[in-house]
Every structure is written in C-alpha cells, then in structure tokens.
Amino acid sequence: MFKPHGKHLIGGEWLAGDQTFASSPSSGEAHDFSVGRVSDVDAAAQAAELAFWSYGYSSAEERATFLNTIADEIEARAEEITEIGCQESGLPVARLQGERGRTTGQLRLFASHILQGNYLDRRHDAALPDRAPLPRPELFMMQRPIGPVAVFGASNFPLAFSVAGGDTAAALAAGCPVVVKGHSAHPGTGEIVAEAILAAVRKCGIHPGVFSLIQGGNRQVGAALVQHPLIKAVGFTGSLAGGRALFDLCAQRPEPIPFFGELGSVNPMFIFEGALTNRGNEIAKGWAGSLSMGAGQFCTNPGIAILMAGEDAQKFTETASAALAETSAQTMLTDGIASAYRDGQRRIASTSGVREVLTSTCNQRDATPYLYETTAKNWLANEALAEEVFGPLGVIVIAQSSDEMRDVALSLQGQLTCTVHIDDEDTPNAARFIPILERKAGRILANGFPTGVEVSDTMVHGGPYPASTNFGATSVGTLSIRRFLRPVCYQNLPSALLPEGIQADELS
C-alpha cells in the first residue's frame, strides 16, 4: 500500500515545507502534505531553466524515449495509483483505470508524434541571388520550444489532466521543462505520479530540473508561478473565476506570457424536429446518461438541451426526468465542488420563469440530479441560466420556432462543444446553424454526446472565451503541442549553425 511522504519534488529532490495541510479523501486515511511556498516556486523555476539548456535541445528520439519511460513507470505503479486515486477523489476503480490508460496513451501518442517531425512545420526558401530588383536570402523556419512551462493540476481528472496529464505531456514532447502545481484534492495521487516521472528522469539521464511538483495548500503559489520571469507559458484546467484571475496576472507581467486556460462550458445540444419526433425518447435517455456520467463532473457535460415546443418536447422532458430519477447519488470530487453544485442548483431554481421538473436532495459530498425547464425567451433574458453548473443538472429550453432556436445559438458564449441531433429531414434547417456553431465552439457533434474526448490528431478541446482563453489552441490531442512552441526564422545561417533536421537537403 502506498503511503505518501507529503513532500515537494524540486530539481530531482524531495523537499519538505515548514507547514502542512491535510488531504480530504472521500474514504480511507487522510495524509499530511507540505504547503507550497513562493521560495519553492523560485527553486523549481530556476531548476527548469537550467534543464532547458540541455532538454530543450535534445533530439526527438531522446524525448520520445523519456515520454515512453514515464508511461512505463506509471503502469508499474498502476495498483497503487488506482487505490489512492479512488480514496482521494471518490471516483470508481474502472474510471481511474481508464483514466490511467488515457494518461499513458497520451504520453505514448506524443512520443510517436514528435518522431514523425511534422509538428516542427519546417520550411525552406532557397536563395535567389539574381532576383530583381532585390535578391532573396536563404531562409529556413521551424518551431522551437519556448522554455519552462507551468501546469496546474485539474480537480476533475486526477491523472489525465494533472501531474503527467495532457499539458505536461505536450510540454515535455515540445522540449519544455515543466513545473506542476498539484491540486490539493488529490495530492497523494500527484505524488506517486511524480515518483514515476522522477524514476524516468533517472533512467533516461535527463536533467532533474525537467520536472518539479509543488503541492497545493496556498493560493500565493499559483500567483507566484504564473508571474515568475522564467516561466514562459501556463496550462490550466479549472474554474472560470480562478482561471481568469491567473490569466490577468499573466497579462500584467512585465513580459506577458500566454495563458492556455480551459475554463467552462454548458455544451448545448440542439434537438431538431425530425430527430425529436423520430428518436426523442432515445435522445432523452442518452442525454440523461451523459448528463449524470461521473456525477456531471466533466467539462464537456451537456447541461442545456434546446428543442421545439409541442407534444414531442413534453415526452422528451418526461423521459429525461424518469431516466435521471433512476440515477443514484454519486460522490463528488471535493467538498468544495459539492458545495458549488448546490449553489448552482439554487441559482437556477430561483431564476424567474424556470419550472422544476426533477428535484432531489444532495447531502455533504454526494450529488443527485436536477432537471429544469424554461422557455427560449426566458433563457435569452436571463444570463444566469447560461452559466455552467458543475454537476448532474440539466436545463431544457423550449423554443416556439426554429428562428427562436437560432436566436439561442447566436446568444451563446464560447463553448467547448455544441451538438446537433438531426435526421435527414432536418438537414436543411441544421445547415443554417452550423456557421453559427463554428463561431461558438471548438468541437461540433451530430447525433452523439460530448462526454468522452478522443485523444487524437484531429481533436480540438477548446473554443472561444470563456470555454478557453486562447481560441487558437487545444488542450487535448497532438495539436496541443503547438502551445509550447514558437516559430524561428534562420536567414543565411551556415548549415553547421542550423538546428538538427532543418538543412536544405533534409527538406527537399
């Protein structure tokens, strides 16, 4: 059985702080962990900068081996990770096992991706000495790593969006050392994953400053991390309020840096008339399952369903309510998240023009589903209804016409996903919506549910603000590596001074 020692990992050394905080597991024994300090941030950033001078110029083969070794070391600790992850988060064993597979899969995917070399976007313009009126010099361009990166662990994914999650995997693949601020919801899980990374560092002979973990417990650490002059970018998954505060700090630095925050989304579903008539019950049951999956604690949780008024809409509401009523209480990730869920439920319930369809009672850290209904007119008039409620709560929005449904689409803020449920007869009407949804979301689905994000070359997990703080980026998939690279042009440099892999004969 794994017993945490509660220390930070900084520059290859486990270091204790002078203050501790106790974990708050959903089951099992609580453990003490060192509270992060501003001095820990400085030490970790300094170590990362030292590591960059070797790691940032290592070969793709070396980094791929490192990423694969991290995955191996995580798998070697599989049972211990699952045990403490379940205790801390309350997530079931199968969920933790699947998330561990996603975590190691991301690492291996990036290892394969960088070996292909396409992510470097290498370009070459041959010299044109005889061009009139002016000659052209020889030009090369390729993507280069930006330097040390800060990563904030997410509360809802103890593995896949945390210490060795997608942000860390992408940054390490790019050649950037990483300083992680661990989430206080699962510090023991973070510690054991950090042990796996340290083992890989030692096996591969990597500079130990390439990775550091500073445990939570102190909000000043997050501010110090994003403001440290050696940190060149930030990856964050979390609340809109917390992410926006860190984003503003990044922008206010003497040297502003990019803040890649994935913040919040209600992930609306538009159910068109043909699909509602032909498959309304099926869609309603599927929505209820997606809405309550993992106690609704997914950033792609589809909280809003928009459909046309009529008997089919009434049947949809009844079916969804019956399906949600059968959902048992589920443990939420933290006491704070459970409290915020109850606050969000009260906010929706107290909004004028909202009808209660299904109510329940949440106790302490448990979550049960809620379902509400309102009109499109009322939804458009109440901005509070468009704010995310992190948990298994759904709002059905009833429109009187297709134009009113379209008005709802036009009013949306940025989303991670938007979904259309359509049958063949709905295609002409749906075609009016797609250009709108393209401007609102990073991923558009048809006849499915957005929970479950594929880790692949084509995935976009991001979108216009407030879904994310950088609409040109994704936090999932191989394209996410571009967040931690920048293009450099080399003019008339001799081959001996060009980076490896960019010589003219290699690009021809």
Contact 132, 161 (CB under 8 A): no
**CB–CB of 334/238 below 8 Å?**
no
**Is 418 annotated in the active site?**
no
Tokens 């359509």 appear where?
Answer: 422
For 345, the token pair is 């439920």
φ, ψ dihedrals at 158, nearest 5°: -60, -20
For strands 32-34 and 20-22, give the pairing. antiparallel
Query: Exposed e or buried b for every residue in 15-27, given b needs 16+ CB within 10 A?
Result: eebeeebebebbe
pTM: 0.95
Q: For residue 150, what are its two tokens?
A: 């800060």
Which of 119, 232, 57 has its CA nearest to residue 482?
119
- Please tell me which residue in 262, 273, 373, 404 is annotated as part of the active site: 262
**H or E segment and range at residue 504:** helix 504-507
Please give the chain's pLDDT, 508 residues, in tens.
789 999 999 999 999 999 999 999 989 999 999 999 999 999 999 999 999 999 999 999 999 999 999 999 999 999 999 999 999 999 999 999 999 999 999 999 999 999 999 999 999 999 999 999 999 999 999 999 999 999 999 988 999 999 999 999 999 999 999 999 999 999 999 999 999 999 999 999 999 999 999 998 778 999 999 999 999 999 999 999 999 999 999 999 999 999 999 998 999 999 999 999 999 999 999 999 999 999 899 999 999 999 999 999 999 999 999 999 999 899 998 888 999 999 999 999 999 999 999 988 777 788 999 999 999 999 999 998 999 999 999 999 999 999 999 999 999 999 999 999 999 999 999 999 999 999 999 999 999 999 989 999 999 999 999 999 998 899 999 999 999 999 999 999 999 999 988 875 566 5
Task: Name the nearest CA neighbour of 67 among 213, 189, 185, 166.
Answer: 166
Q: Which entry of 250, 299, 362, 418 is annotated as an active-site residue?
A: 299
Cα 11 to Cα 63, 106, 112, 337, 363, distances in angstroms = 18, 24, 27, 32, 43
Whether residue 262 lies in the annotated active site? yes
